[in-house]
């Protein structure tokens, strides 16, 4: 938000002259602080230039101050400018520059784009949270090759212990009749590549 506000302030400063009251504008004329004046009778505005480049039309230069004036004061402004020897350009164009329109809307477009970005990020994060734990499990068909203890080479002691668990899973009533209880879990530990995963697949197979 601070970045958008700063951008808006910057564009407001760069897009046009400083707005002053008509009394302030008149005082600038009387004090001789203006080198040129541009008056637009269509929208009743006057623009003042502290520096004036005679080789460039006023319409192509950026004014320093501007103001609106009451209806019917065109002759008074013209007379004041002439009395101070200030060049005056008069136009009657009721038009707004293309870049002025673009710059006036740009801060709002930036804010709108930033809000869409934040909303998209929040929505994406929410979807990831809702999808946590919902990964599709792979279904193994009947034709999928099974791993048995015959496929495990070595590890005889571990195979014997796990084979008892396998038998219990196949015939639980037989072992319960003897008072046996299946362990809640089996911990297989060892360095990588020693066959832990293969043993687990053999129990499942």
> Which CATH number do you get for residue 83?
3.30.720.210
Q: In angstroms, what CA-CA distances link 24 with 28, 110, 177, 193?
A: 6, 35, 106, 87
Could you tell me if 190 and 196 are in contact, meaning their C-beta atoms sit under 8 angstroms apart?
Answer: yes
Could you tell me if 52 and 87 are in contact, meaning their C-beta atoms sit under 8 angstroms apart?
Answer: yes
Model confidence at 2, pLDDT cuts 50, 70, 90, reads very low
Quick one: tokens of 49? 């230039």
- Does one domain contain both 93 and 26? yes
Look at residues 38, 66, 98 and tell me which one is the last residue of a structural domain.
98
What total of structural domains would you count in the chain?
A: 2
- Does one domain contain both 92 and 153? no
Counting every residue written for the chain, the total comes to 205
Task: Evaluate if residue 197 carries a pLDDT over 60.
Answer: yes
More confident residue, 52 or 93: 52
Give residue 36's pLDDT: 94
Beta bridge pairs of residue 39: 46, 90
Report the pLDDT averaged over residues 44-53.
91
Report the pLDDT averaged over residues 44-58.
88
- Does one domain contain both 87 and 153? no
pTM for the whole thing? Answer: 0.40
More confident residue, 108 or 176: 108
Residue 62, in any domain of the structure = yes
Residue 53, in any domain of the structure = yes
Could you list the residue range(s) of the whole structural domain that residue 166 is in?
149-204
């Amino acid at each position: 938000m601070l970045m958008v506000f700063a951008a808006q302030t910057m564009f407001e400063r760069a897009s046009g002259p400083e707005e002053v009251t008509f009394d302030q504008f008149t005082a600038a004329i009387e004090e001789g602080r203006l080198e040129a004046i541009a008056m637009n009778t269509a929208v009743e505005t006057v623009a003042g230039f502290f520096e004036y480049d005679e080789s460039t039309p006023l319409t192509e230069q950026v004014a320093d101050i501007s103001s609106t004036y009451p209806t019917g004061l065109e002759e008074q402004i013209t007379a004041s400018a002439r009395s101070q020897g200030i060049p005056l350009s008069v136009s009657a164009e009721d038009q707004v520059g293309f870049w002025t329109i673009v710059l006036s809307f740009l801060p709002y477009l930036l804010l709108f784009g930033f809000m869409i970005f934040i909303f998209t990020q929040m929505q994406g994060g929410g979807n990831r949270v809702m999808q946590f734990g919902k990964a599709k499990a792979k279904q193994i068909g009947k034709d999928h090759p099974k791993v048995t203890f015959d496929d495990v080479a070595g590890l005889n002691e571990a195979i014997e212990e796990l084979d008892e668990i396998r038998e219990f899973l196949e015939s639980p009533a037989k072992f319960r009749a003897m008072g046996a209880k299946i362990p809640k879990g089996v911990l297989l530990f060892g360095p990588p590549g020693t066959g832990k995963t293969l043993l687990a697949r053999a129990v499942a197979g």
